[in-house]
């Protein structure tokens, strides 16, 4: 058995998939989650996949005293993977203070306590949103950071800076910052997946909910972009592939393989796929006709962005493996499972 890893937000979409991969790799997983945007069913899903239930404590990372109690209870944590955050872009524009309070405080609390409880490593969930509209694609980690389009995006940028400043100040900490492109799909067992609260803001849950009849019609936001088919282009990365990168990142820090105390990696496939291509792929693999219409652009959307993942490929030795067809099928199988359980 390898060491203990704390996964904040581990009941959520990416966190639950990462907990599975950590357990598969032999780590002991402790999940904390306030269940504000997830349910404890994902904890059972992790058990159904791996045969082992991770330790779970319902806890908000903004609650410093509860965090202290947690670190006293579970000694010898080797690393933290910090997913817990509010993540709805639109809501962040309406409620900026909620986002700044939640997303900044939780990281500050962890960084504050880590040296005191001798926890040396933290992996931080960042986003390609920090690049804004790229000047060129694919985009690598040396590209300039652009002014954030939303308070949510700003919290990612500020948190990257907080980590860098804290490590530079000489505290005994190391960090790997992972900039995700667009995570999609679900675990191939359909035991865990994405479960958005209310009307989905992201494309793939909207597609699957439309196909199953929960939503009447998918709106495609714009077909007049400067792209081959006029719709936006993204780098859609399979969530299991993404989860595996976290295990490699944690291994790297624990084994002291990193040269720098803060390292940043893009996590993407390196391929740009348009919104319309993704819809067509969904129709092809499921045999279902999707009811969609083209509407106006969504404010704040990036025209096209896809990753240069060479740094993660070479230094982490990680590469996205799943293809877009299987990934879309996994998203659909997850939606079918939710229907079977009467959840959606
Ligand atoms: C969004 C966030 C990004 C965040 C990411 C997390 C914005 C501007 N960016 O990325 O900061 O890190 O989610 O997952 O919100 N689309 C439709 N119809 C829909 C939904 C989406 O056409 O109903 C299109 C969008 O216009 C976009 C693409 O699908 O071109 C992907 O959208 P989405 O899944 O929301 O992700 P991003 O906007 O790339």
Residue whose CA lies nearest to ligand 1 atom number 3: 129
Residue 53, CB-side half-sphere exposure with 13 Å CA sphere: 7
Residue 325: its pLDDT value, please?
98
- Summarize the confidence of residues 68-83 as an average pLDDT: 98
Residue-level pLDDT at 258: 85
Contact of 274 with 223, CB cutoff 8 Å = no
State whether residue 79 is helix, strand or coil: strand
What's the CA angle centered on 74, arms 73 and 76, to 5 degrees?
Answer: 135
Nearest protein CA to atom 16 of ligand 1, as residue: 203
Half-sphere exposure of 118 (CA within 13 A, CB side): 5
Query: Which tokens is 242 given?
Result: 């993404």
Active-site option among 27, 99, 152, 225: 152
Within 6 A (CB) of ligand 1 lie 89, 127, 129, 153, 182, 201-203, 206, 218-221, 232, 234, 275, 298, 300-301
Closest atom of ligand 1 to 202 CA is: 34
201 Cα–ligand 1 center, Å:
7
Task: Read off the pLDDT of each residue in 284-291 and give the average, rounded to a whole number.
Answer: 98
pLDDT category of residue 140 using cuts at 50, 70 and 90: very high
Predicted pLDDT of residue 344: 87
Atom of ligand 1 nearest to the CA of 300: 8
pLDDT for res 34: 97
pTM of the model: 0.98
Q: Helix (H, G, I), strand (E, B), or coil: what is residue 184?
A: strand
Average pLDDT taken over every residue of the chain: 97
Cα(202) to centroid of ligand 1, in Å? 5
186 closest CA partner among 205, 203, 199:
205
Distances (CA, A) of 204 to 101, 148, 324: 28, 23, 12
Share of the chain above pLDDT 90, in %: 99
The closest alpha carbon to 311, from 139, 174, 161, belongs to 139
275: its two tokens: 């919104």
User: What is the predicted pLDDT for the residue at 80?
Assistant: 98
Average the pLDDT over 308-337 and give the result: 98
Minimal-distance CA residue to ligand 1 atom 36: 202
- Which pLDDT band holds residue 259 (cuts at 50, 70, 90)? confident
Structure confidence at residue 37 (pLDDT): 92
Q: How confident is the model at residue 33 (pLDDT cuts 50, 70, 90)?
A: very high
Nearest protein Cα to ligand 1, atom 21: 203
For the segment 322-326, the average pLDDT, to the nearest whole number, is 98
The mean per-residue pLDDT over the stretch 197-203 comes to: 94
Tell me: pLDDT of 220 over 90.
Answer: yes
Average pLDDT over residues 299-303: 94
Compute the distance between CA of residue 203 and CA of residue 209 in angstroms, rounded to an integer. Answer: 10
Residue 271: closest CA among 235, 239, 233, 323: 235
| Over residues 206-231, mean pLDDT | 98
**Any idea which of 20-24, 86-90, 103-107, 278-282 has the lowest mean pLDDT?**
86-90
Cβ-contact 29, 19 below 8 angstroms: yes
Helix (H) or strand (E) holding 233: strand 233-234
- Atom 27 in ligand 1: residue holding the nearest Cα: 232
296 Cα: distance to centroid of ligand 1 (angstroms): 14
Cα(221) to ligand 1 centroid in Å equals 9
- Tell me, in angstroms, the distance from the centre of ligand 1 to residue 311's CA: 25
Maximal CA-CA distance, the chain: 57
Task: Using the atom order of ligand 1, give the atom closest to the CA of residue 127.
Answer: 12
pLDDT of residue 1: 80
Q: Give the position, in ligand 1's atom list, of the atom nearest the Cα of 275.
A: 29
Give which of 127, 124, 121, 117 is closest to 148, Cα–Cα: 127
Q: Is 27 a catalytic residue?
A: no
């Amino acid at each position: 058995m390898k060491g203990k890893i704390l996964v904040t937000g581990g009941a959520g979409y990416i966190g639950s998939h990462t907990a599975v991969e950590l357990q598969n790799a032999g780590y002991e997983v402790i999940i904390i989650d306030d269940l504000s945007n997830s349910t404890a069913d994902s904890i059972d899903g992790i058990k159904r996949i791996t045969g082992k239930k991770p330790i779970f404590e319902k806890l908000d990372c903004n609650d410093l005293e509860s965090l202290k109690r947690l670190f006293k209870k579970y000694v010898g944590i080797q690393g933290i993977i910090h997913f817990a955050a509010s993540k709805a872009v639109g809501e962040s524009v309406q409620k900026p203070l909620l986002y700044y309070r939640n997303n900044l405080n939780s990281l500050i609390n962890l960084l504050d306590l880590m040296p005191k409880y001798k926890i040396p490593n933290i992996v931080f969930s960042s986003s390609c949103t920090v690049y804004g509209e790229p000047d060129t694609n694919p985009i690598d980690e040396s590209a300039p950071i652009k002014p954030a389009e939303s308070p949510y995006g700003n919290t990612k940028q500020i948190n990257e800076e907080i980590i860098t400043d804290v490590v530079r100040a000489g505290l005994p900490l190391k960090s790997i910052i992972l900039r995700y492109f667009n995570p999609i799909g679900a675990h191939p067992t359909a035991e865990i997946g994405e479960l958005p609260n209310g009307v989905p803001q992201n494309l793939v849950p909207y597609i699957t909910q439309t196909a199953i009849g929960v939503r009447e019609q998918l709106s495609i936001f714009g077909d007049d972009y400067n792209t081959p088919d006029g719709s936006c282009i993204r780098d859609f990365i399979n969530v299991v592939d993404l989860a595996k990168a976290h295990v490699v990142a944690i291994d790297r820090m624990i084994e002291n393989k990193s040269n720098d105390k803060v390292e940043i990696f893009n996590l993407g496939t390196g391929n740009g796929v348009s919104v319309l291509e993704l819809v067509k792929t969904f129709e092809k693999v499921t045999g279902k006709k999707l009811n969609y219409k083209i509407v106006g652009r969504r404010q704040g959307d990036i025209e096209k962005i896809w990753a240069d993942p060479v740094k993660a490929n070479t230094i982490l030795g990680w590469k996205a493996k799943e293809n877009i067809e299987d990934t879309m099928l996994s998203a659909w199988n997850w939606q079918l499972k939710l229907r079977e359980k009467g959840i959606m």
